[in-house]
Structure 1
Amino acid sequence: MTGSVRIKICGVRTPEDALTAVEAGADLIGINFVEGSLREVDTGQALEICEALEGHDVERVALFCNARWDKIDPILQRVPFERVQFHGDETEEELEAIDLPTIKAIRGADHEAAETYPGSILLLDHPHGGGGQGQAWDWSEAEDLIAHGHDVIIAGGLTPENVAEALADVGDIPPWGVDVATGVENDDRYKDPAKMRAFVEAIRRRKEAVEVEKESGEGA
């Protein structure tokens, strides 16, 4: 974990990419079961990835979108996950049926949606686009949700070049975490080790800059 901001690298497709992400500093690894996604993996691939991460200090996150329970349950029974993320129109009741902690993606800083899922961490993605598209948006809109005590993950178009700006945009209270997929990939949708390291390092530098600023203010 980089300071109090957790780093989630999503759409990991191989054990090698997963281990490289952990070495770079990821706190959560997202594994995508969304049908038709360029990052979709099957149960066997997911099991290989999750087994490779055994013993590492990282959470394994399963990602679904409007999936039927008869698809979700066999995967969660077979593959060791610590958390489940939902990216569709799932209800709070459906999320509560999951025995693991949940993340619920919503469109931008939607206060009504945030109140609909009080038991989940909220992943704020682009207001007008689907997840995993690499589209940036006005992250400052998340500031009010964070200030009201919601656990929020900032997502949507994050890259090593703009993640520090996104963290600055949400104000003095850091989000629960940040989520990146496209921003640390090559054109083939596999993860780029250098981009993952640069992403984590940008967050570390942002944290250090904030600490220096606070110390300067206290000494003034």
Structure 2
Amino acid sequence: MWIKICGNTRLEDCVVAAEAGADAVGFIFASGKRLITAQDARAITSELPETLETIGVFTQTNAAQILATAAAAGITGIQLHSAFDPRRAAIIRRQFPKTKGRMRVLQVVHWLTDVSAETQMERFRVECKAIAASGLADALLVDSRTAEASGGTGVTFDWSAAASALQGLSLPVIVAGGLRPENVGPAIEALHPDGVDTSSGVEVSPGVKDHDRVRAFVGVVRG
């Protein structure tokens, strides 16, 4: 089970995540409470072990800008948090080729928390299948989206409905959206994902991690 602790702004939090057994740490290069500059991210990534994956989260749609930020930050993978665009993903893929055992390109698909499952199910299925068929992503990351925010919401989505929509998908699935030590176990039982991702669920405040909660989260998943 792949584990990412996202929304980092401090080296000490990333070190704790690595020591706890997380596979990756994430950095937000998009507007919001956890925004970090490429230069500040580089100061962190340069001090981390090579075995720890470092994933940049982008809502930007310009591939050249994404790649420039990624290079400046020294990150090992890209999480595309905007709508799937095969042309943009193909450009990113060329610079972040598939590497065995590593998550290099993640594509987000949102489950809308303020829309009924019936209303969005077909749209969700079509998006997931298109991403899988493209061969451009290493994994699909399912995150909750509210009317106010597209990530880091701290809000869970309808796991049961999403599980039905994800059945038979030929691509690893990573689950995010409101996960925390108290509910990640039930989320895994409901969705049987290949990985999990948390940010606000292990924080003291936006961008500042609670080290005990990081350890607890990883411990529940590994357990």
Shorter-chain TM range is: 0.7 to 0.9
Counterpart position of 1:193: 211
Computing the radius of gyration from Cα coordinates, the structure with the larger value is 1
Counterpart position of 1:79: 73
- Confirm or deny: 8 A CA contact 1:154 1:179 kept in the other structure: yes
Q: 2:190 aligns with which of 160, 169, 187?
A: 169
Provide, for residues 105-138 of structure 1, a one-character-per-residue CA deviation record: whole Å limited to 9, x for no partner.
Answer: 1112711111222222111111545111110112
- Confirm or deny: 8 A CA contact 2:110 2:142 kept in the other structure: yes
Counterpart position of 1:53: 48
Counterpart position of 2:176: 155
Provide the TM-score with structure 2 as the length reference. 0.81
Provide, for residues 47-66 of structure 1, a one-character-per-residue CA deviation record: whole Å limited to 9, x for no partner.
Answer: 011111133x2111111002
What is the rounded CA distance, in whole Å, between the counterparts of 1:71 and 1:115 in structure 2? 27
What is the rounded CA distance, in whole Å, between the counterparts of 1:90 and 1:122 in structure 2? 11
Q: Indicate how the Cα distance of structure 1 residues 38 and 148 shifts in structure 2: closer, same or farther if over 3 A, else same.
A: same
1:183 aligns with 2:201: yes
Could you tell me which runs of 5 or more consecutive residues in structure 1 were left unpaired when the two chains were aligned.
Answer: 206-220
Could you tell me which runs of 5 or more consecutive residues in structure 2 were left unpaired when the two chains were aligned.
Answer: 97-103, 112-120
Cα offset for 1:83?
1.2
1:41 aligns with 2:41: no
RMSD: 1.8
Q: Please state whether the residue corresponding to 1:150 is helix, strand or coil.
A: coil
Aligned residues: 196
1:103 aligns with 2:90: no
- Confirm or deny: 8 A CA contact 2:145 2:151 kept in the other structure: no
What is the rounded CA distance, in whole Å, between the counterparts of 1:167 and 1:54 in structure 2? 28
Provide the TM-score with structure 1 as the length reference. 0.82
